[in-house]
Amino acid sequence: MPVIYQQDINQETKIAIWKIEEEEDFFLDFVPINRSIKHPKKRLQHLAGRYLLQHLFPDFPYNEIMIADTKKPYLADHKYHFSISHTKDYAAAIVSSSCRVGVDIEIPTHKASIISEKFIHANELQLINNLKNNSDINYFNTLIWCAKEAMFKWWGLGNVDFKEMLRIDTIEVDNGITLHARFIAEHENQSLKLYHKDLDSLCLIWVAS
């Protein structure tokens, strides 16, 4: 079973990454698909992400998934909060029965650097410059991007200015990386702690709060 990473964050919140090596039929035996995704690779990613939801919590009710106007999938009764991300041959999902969650996975490339001006605040640039071992700028730009995508999904209501409203205040590099962030909105300012893991060339970031 190609779960390459799983963490039970606590009894109510779990996260996992699946490396996709199966054909579509494998997932279709378990996961209903009720919208037409044409591109075969995107279908596989979508199915693998959904598959992880029941892998993490076997009673996760697939048939009750709704899609908001913002495209965020959710359960109307909030029995579980969940968030999904996919890239290349990987899918990640985080599920929680107690708090809102957001996850993003990315493979660090120069892509985040190309658009860095759009989402990195001057203070965050300073933060990266102050870090020791900061020579791989593509890596750190991807890290910030990944963190902000996870925050965007945690928020779930769309209409977010990544540069101004999603702010990384500190990046703690110890055994792993922890980011302290703020979501700045008119009616809801919230401090968020984001957790990071590097594995199999992937950058994984999640928030549960």
Ligand X SMILES: CC(C)(COP(=O)(O)OP(=O)(O)OC[C@H]1O[C@@H](n2cnc3c(N)ncnc32)[C@H](O)[C@@H]1OP(=O)(O)O)[C@@H](O)C(=O)NCCC(=O)NCCS
Q: Among 16, 44, 53, 72, which residue interacts with ligand X (rule: CB under 6 A)? A: 72
Identity of the residue, 84 or 207, whose beta carbon is nearer to ligand X in the bound complex: 84
Under rule CB under 6 A, residue 73 binds ligand X:
yes
Task: Give the DSSP per-residue string, the chain.
Answer: --EEEEEEEETTEEEEEEE--S-HHHHHTT----S---SHHHHHHHHHHHHHHHHH-TT--GGGEEE-TTS-EEETT-SSEEEEEEETTEEEEEEESSS-EEEEEE---THHHHTHHHH--HHHHHHHHHSTT---HHHHHHHHHHHHHHHHHHH-S----HHHHEEEEEEEESSSEEEEEEE--SS--EEEEEEEEEETTEEEEEEE-
Locate 137 and state its tokens.
């700028």
- Which residues from 6-35 bind ligand X, rule CB under 6 A? none
Instruction: For residue 83, give the amino acid letter.
Output: S
Q: Is 170 exposed, middle or buried (0-12, 13-18, 19+ CB in 10 A)?
A: exposed
Q: Among 38, 39, 71, 132, which residue interacts with ligand X (rule: CB under 6 A)? A: 71
Please report how close the Cβ of residue 133 comes to ligand X at its closest, in angstroms. 26
φ, ψ for residue 161, nearest 5 deg = -85, 105
With contacts defined by CB under 6 A, name the span among 26-34, 55-63, 157-165, 186-194 that binds ligand X.
157-165
- Which residues from 183-202 bind ligand X, rule CB under 6 A? none
Binding characters for ligand X, 105-124, by CB under 6 A (x = yes): ----------x--xx-----
Under rule CB under 6 A, residue 81 binds ligand X:
no
With contacts defined by CB under 6 A, name the span among 13-21, 26-34, 124-132, 153-161 that binds ligand X.
153-161
Q: Among 81, 86, 100, 196, which residue interacts with ligand X (rule: CB under 6 A)? A: 86
Under rule CB under 6 A, residue 38 binds ligand X:
no
Under rule CB under 6 A, residue 55 binds ligand X:
no
Under rule CB under 6 A, residue 149 binds ligand X:
yes
Binding residues vs ligand X (CB under 6 A): 46, 49, 70-73, 83-86, 104, 115, 118-119, 149, 152-153, 156, 158, 160, 162
